[in-house]
Amino acid sequence: MVSVGWVGCMPLELRDRYADQVESYLPTPFAPLGAVYLDPEQAVGPPDARSVALGAGASVVLRFFRPAPNGPGPDLRLHELGPDGARARVAFSADGVEFVEVGDDAVGTVVFDLEAAGLEEATFVRVRGLDDAGPEPGYDLDAAEALH
């Protein structure tokens, strides 16, 4: 028998689909200290229209509670806010040490297939901002979601 648990108002199996911890964070250089968009915790959990802005030179590494497996079709989705066309570079890792960049630059909400990275699973995702587009500079990461 499988028990379904709850955390707050969210079932555990749904919560486990989203990155749930900030492993490391390098903020956007020259952004004003204390700006609400510099809080990397805003990229943890399901999409909620709150994001961390990743301008040129900024990066965040998020960790999943359970590894995201390589299944049929796309395996991970990044949720991004805003229509400003900001770009980011995305990499995945099973161990948090060796990262493999996947695909072209991310623009908007995008999906990724771990097969392209040669990975059977990913526990970590690194998102690195490439530009300062938009009022909140760079790629506005709202959430990272495992699709399997």
Residue type for position 110:
V
Residue type for position 107:
V
Tokens representing residue 3 in the block = 């028990």
pLDDT (mean) for 118-128: 97
Weakest mean pLDDT among 9-18, 76-85, 104-113, 133-142: 9-18
pLDDT reported for residue 6: 44
Collapse the DSSP code of 45 into the 3-class scheme (helix H, G, I; strand E, B; otherwise coil) and give the result.
Answer: coil
HSE-up (13 A, CA, CB side) for residue 45: 13
Per residue in 89-117, pLDDT (tens digit) is: 999 999 999 999 998 899 999 999 999 88
90 closest CA partner among 147, 129, 138: 129
Q: Full-prediction pTM beyond 0.85?
A: yes
Bridge partners of 112, per DSSP, are 76
CB 85 within 8 A of CB 111: no
Per residue in 8-60, pLDDT (tens digit) is: 555 455 567 999 999 999 999 988 988 999 999 999 999 999 999 999 999 99
- Residues whose CB is less than 8 angstroms from the CB of residue 26 and which lie 6 or more positions away in sequence, other chains included: 57, 58, 59, 60
| Helices and strands in the chain: count of H runs, count of E runs | 1, 12
CB 4 within 8 A of CB 12: yes
Collapse the DSSP code of 54 into the 3-class scheme (helix H, G, I; strand E, B; otherwise coil) and give the result.
Answer: strand
Residue 4 pLDDT level (bands cut at 50, 70, 90): very low
